[in-house]
Structure 1
C-alpha cells in the first residue's frame, strides 16, 4: 500500500483548469483560469507549487 505522500507525488506535472468562485448562496460568480506546476525537489522530499 502506498503512503499518502507517494500517492501525492503521482500528481507532479502541469495542471490547467479553473478555480470557481461562489457566493454565500452557492451561485457561481466567476471562473478564474489557472495553470499550476507541481515539481519534485530534493529527491522527492519537497514539492514546489508554481502558479502561472
Structure 2
C-alpha cells in the first residue's frame, strides 16, 4: 500500500475529555495489495479501530 495516516489525540482542558481521530488514505502499490482488493481496506479499518481502542 502507498498512502498516508494521521493520528490525532487532543484533550479538552475544560472537561478533561480525550478525543482521538485516525484519518488515512491509500492505494494499492504492489501486485499483492492489488490482489487483496477490498480486503485491504477492511484490514486497514480494523487496525485503525485497534489503535483507537488502545488510546
| Greater RCO structure (CA 8 Å; 6+ sep) | 2
**Structure 1 or 2: more strand by fraction:** 1
Give the shorter-chain TM-score range.
Answer: under 0.3
TM-score of the superposition, structure 2-length normalised? 0.27
**Structure 1 or 2: more helix by fraction:** 2
